[in-house]
Structure formats: structure tokens, C-alpha cells
Homo-oligomer: A and B are copies of this chain.
Amino acid sequence: MGSPMALNLIKTGCDVTVWNRTKSKCDPLISMGAKYKPSPEEVTAACDVTFAMLADPESAMEVACGKHGAVSGMGPGKGYVDVSTVDGGTSKLISGHIKASGASFLEAPVSGSKKPAEDGQLIFLTAGDKSLYETVTPFLDIMGKSRFYLGEVGNGAAMKLIVNMIMGSMMATFSEGLLLSEKVGLDPNVLVEVVSKGAISAPMYALKGPSMVKSLYPTAFPLKHQQKDMRLALGLAESVSQPTPISAAANELYKVAKSHGLSDSDFSAVIEALKGKVQS
């Protein structure tokens, strides 16, 4: 997802320097005018503000704090914006290292997947240094359509978990409705349409409903990641003694779906967990 985000910055005339573990992935951006540096350290040394988009907490840690990592090139007056989705603990660790160099840190996980990234329609859930947030506002507005500043580091991660928790439960109950409509002789495609007209209409239903009716689950957000987020959200809820029975029940369905071998399908495949076995 980093590529389309960088491309939007380049297109609007920003001075962009890029790096990727696999250099060839940078070539399209370089051909569009981006500069290239051979390590995170050299990127952060050359730039005022650096955006990091990594696949998982381990990579985010390595690129920030590893050998020739971003921290080595940071210092007072510079800023580091981590737009990866990582847990609050990892975010705090990275923040600690960056700030020890004298630089500023902003956690900024995004809500939205590949298509919104290309269209500059991401949502940024930021937390950390408020002044850095204000500095990067113009760039966030190029890459996204909305941005939120949520206070101390860790709050961005928490907000994203809560949104995904609600999303997971909504997908599960929508699945119940689709299957129930079919079982009682109604066309589930009509349910998708009826839902799209009223108070419970959500873009996700309109987007995924038609393929779910065909038992197709092209992966936009893998089911195993959705289940992991629900587990983390339930852990968060437990840490503050907040009951969440709906999400707990939904999490069980994602576990059932995983046990059916659907970990790498789209999370809408949770509907399979509600289908009866075919009897021999």
C-alpha cells in the first residue's frame, strides 16, 4: 500500500525519497520522479519527514530500530510518521526510540485498503506529537480524505481495533441475514438491495454482499487478520472489564471459519461458518 500513497504525493509535486527492501518495487516511483536511498537510515537523514508503511509489527520495528534503521538518521527537527498497523505496545517502543533521538513521532494507522489508497481516500487515525501532526496535515490530506488526532501514542491502534471489532460483528450478522433470507425462500440479492436503501446501509454490505451470495470471497482483508483484530479487541475489552458479548460470539464464528481452512479468504467468508454441512 505504500506505493499508491507515495505516488499521490509525487503527483501533487512533493519532493519524495523512497526505499524498499526490494529495490525493484521502487522503480515505478523513481520513473515518476522519486529519489531513492539504499537504507532507511539514509532516507531519514535526507528528509524532514518520513512516512513508514510496513506489513507487520516485526518489520515496523526492524525498519525503525534495526541496523541502518530509520532511528540512526533521525534527530531534532525531524519527524517520523508510522502509518503501519501495529499494536499499541510496538507503537510505543518505536516512539520511544525515535524520540530518544530528539525527533518527533506520530502513529497513524490507516483505515481503508488498496483502492482507497490509490484514490487518496484513506482515513488516518493518528496519535503522538501534536506539532508533527500539524506539520504533516497537508500530506495526510493528499493521501486521505479524513484524519483524526487521538492523543497519546497507542490511541490510534486502539481506535482501529474498535472499528474492526464492530466491522467483524456487522459482517457476521449480515451473514446470518443472507442465509436466513435464502432458507425462507427470499432472494438474498434482494436483501442486499433492501439493506442498501435504509438506515443500516453500509458501503461494506453493498460491496461484498453480491459476491457472498455467490459464495465468492476475493481477498481484500484476510479473514485471519480480521480474527486476530477481534481477538486483540476482546483482549482490550477484557483489560478494562467491558463486556462485549456480540463480538465474543462473532469471534467464535471467525474461529470456525479458520478451522474450515478459510484463513486466507476475505473475512466475508465468515458466512461459511453458518452453513450446514452437506450430508452424505
Interface residues of A (CB under 8 A from B): 111-112, 123, 125, 145-146, 148, 150-151, 155, 158-159, 162-163, 165-167, 169-170, 172-174, 176-177, 179-181, 183-186, 190-191, 193-195, 197-204, 207, 231, 233, 236-238, 240-253, 255-256, 258-261, 274, 276-277, 279
Contacts and interface: CB of A to CB of B under 8 A. Distances in A.
Contacts of A194: 111, 123, 125, 146, 148, 159, 163
Contacts of A200: 163, 166-167, 170, 202-204
A246 B173 contact: yes
Given A177-B165, A177-B166, A201 B198 contact: no
Contacts of A260: 276-277, 279
A179 B240 CA distance: 10
Given A166-B177, A173-B170, A256 B231 contact: no
For this chain, the copies found in one complex come to: 4
Contacts of A256: 243, 276
Given A162-B177, A194-B148, A201-B203, A185 B155 contact: yes
Contacts of A247: 173, 176
A279 B251 contact: no
Nearest to A248: B248
Contacts of A197: 111, 123, 145-146
21 contacts: A112-B199, A146-B197, A151-B186, A155-B186, A159-B190, A162-B177, A162-B181, A165-B176, A170-B200, A173-B246, A173-B250, A180-B233, A183-B240, A184-B236, A199-B203, A199-B207, A241-B255, A241-B276, A242-B259, A245-B253, A256-B276
Given A159-B181, A243-B255, 7 more contacts: A155-B185, A163-B200, A169-B169, A179-B242, A199-B204, A201-B203, A260-B277
Contacts of A245: 176, 245, 249, 252-253
Contact of A259 (B163, B201, B259, B276): B276
Contacts of A248: 248-249, 251-252
Given A155-B185, A183-B242, A237-B180, A195 B274 contact: no
Contacts of A190: 148, 150, 159
A243 B184 CA distance: 13
A266 to B, nearest CB: 12
A155 to B, nearest CB: 6
A114 to B, nearest CB: 13
Contacts of A174: 166
A89 to B, nearest CB: 14
A165 B176 CA distance: 9
Contact of A158 (B123, B186, B236, B252): B186
